[in-house]
Amino acid sequence: MRRRVIGVLLLMVAVAVAAVAVLAWRGYRDDPSTGPREAIADPDARVARGAYLAKVGDCIACHTAPGGKPYAGGAAIPTPFGVFYGPNITPDRGTGIGAWTEDDFWRALHQGKSPSGSLLYPAFPYTEYTRVSRADADALYAYLRTVPAVSQPSRPHDLAFPYGWRPLLALWRGLYFDPGVHPDAGAESGLARGRYLVDGLGHCIACHAPRNALGATPSGSGFIGGAIEGLGWYAPALDGDTAQGLGRWSQDDIAALLKTGVSPQGVAAGPMGEVVAASTQYLTDEDAQAIAAYLKSVPAAPAEAAGAAPQPTGMRRGADVYAARCAQCHGIDGRGKGTDWPPLAGNIGVTAPYPGNVVRMVLDGGFAPATAGNPRPHGMPPFGQVLSDDDVAAVATYVRNSWGNAAGGVTPLQVKQARAAGG
């Protein structure tokens, strides 16, 4: 019996070792494809194309520290595993990517590997960038060669143990990463073009889907929304759900938000406001409409259940706070006034499963992003200085459960945690 038990244990160990070996092989394997080059012949047009693509991908967000030189790195990316810092991607040969070739750059986007072959962390979203066409990758590379070179070493990541040990990435990649150019990479317009932009350079799923315990977005999860770790915001669903997604939005509503930061359905705030300011406002009208058309085609997934029903006493308190502080702009019926004072009724930022967006706006206020289409946005004043945690929780609960909204309550503890986290 003892020999049999030992034999079974050894077999299990052998199977586990074999499984780890297979995952590691999958994680390290190369995709030999270099992709069809199809480069734009005119060098100026190629650089201009790359400059546009850099905005579509919002590259500056992760590769430029606040107050720093463009693309010189240093921007902090908080995650549950520690803080990543965007590297220097200026053409400096010593500290940037000046010594990289076009093939090196393609390898980073397509395979998530450095020129030396070391594995890159998926905080750099090569899981989505792998879908970018070779022609677009080469144009992006050509543009980055034209930005001012900055001699600034990339800041080391600050990761908890054992996530700083890169060989573990091979196992992660074996589970969650398959390189491959998007089938719609050649599309120049229409729904296919929108799918290519959303799934590739736009990397929308990086925020608008939940992540598992290993930080991966499981295949097939769809755009069902997800908490943005470390920032206290929630990226709403982008599917056809009418309560939590884009089911009530028209294609023009979506395109307007992308281009201007405001729409009849709501305003881009928090991290999405930054995306609009630095990225999507620069989309061509055709690309904005293509993205909107694709998102309107995404079917509704089962919505996450609302939280516990609010207590009547809390709703009454919230109604009083709302009447005193909010109704003048957002209306007693929660329908708002045009795009300057957005509606709260049916607002997917309000009805999200996680109430962080509402709490953050009540505490800190804020503005829609200033864009070419909306250069002088209206702002919301902060109420964190004048409302207690109980009052903020009550008014957040009220707006999440009035005028047809049914999103569950907010607790004073959640407000206290939001205050501690900061804006």
**pLDDT tens by residue, 186-207:** 899 999 999 999 999 999 999 9
Residues 285 and 329 in one domain: no
203 assigned binding-site residue: no
Residue 239 lies in a domain: yes
Residues 38 and 129 in one domain: yes
Give the range of the structural domain holding residue 262, as residue numbers without chain letter. 193-297
Residues 103 and 218 in one domain: no
Residues 144 and 17 in one domain: yes
Residue 307 lies in a domain: no
Residue 306 lies in a domain: no
207 assigned binding-site residue: yes
208 assigned binding-site residue: yes
Residue 3 lies in a domain: no
Residues 167 and 209 in one domain: no
110 assigned binding-site residue: no
Q: How confident is the model at residue 153 (pLDDT cuts 50, 70, 90)?
A: very high
- From 180, 208, 226, the end of a domain falls on 180
63 assigned binding-site residue: yes
Residues 36 and 154 in one domain: yes
The distance between the two most distant Cα atoms of the chain, rounded to a whole number of Å, is 79
Residue 4 lies in a domain: no
pLDDT at 80 over 80: yes
Question: pTM of the predicted model, to two decimals?
Answer: 0.91
Residues 123 and 225 in one domain: no
pLDDT at 8 over 80: no
330 assigned binding-site residue: yes
62 assigned binding-site residue: yes
Residues 159 and 213 in one domain: no
pLDDT greater at residue 301 or residue 402: 402
- From 152, 180, 208, the end of a domain falls on 180
Number of domains comprising the chain? 3
Pairing of strands 262-263, 158-159: unpaired
326 assigned binding-site residue: yes
- From 154, 180, 206, the end of a domain falls on 180
| Nearest by Cα to 45 from 181, 146, 195 | 146
Burial level of 144, CB count in 10 A (0-12/13-18/19+)? buried
Residue 393 lies in a domain: yes
Percent of the chain with pLDDT over 90: 82
329 assigned binding-site residue: yes
Residues 202 and 102 in one domain: no
Residues 21 and 122 in one domain: yes
Q: How confident is the model at residue 24 (pLDDT cuts 50, 70, 90)?
A: very low
**CB of 273 within 8 A of CB of 366?**
yes
Residue 5 lies in a domain: no
pLDDT at 36 over 90: no
Residues 240 and 377 in one domain: no
Residue 304 lies in a domain: no
Residues 124 and 164 in one domain: yes
pLDDT digits (tens, 9 = 90+) for 344-384: 999 999 999 999 999 999 999 989 999 999 999 989 999 99
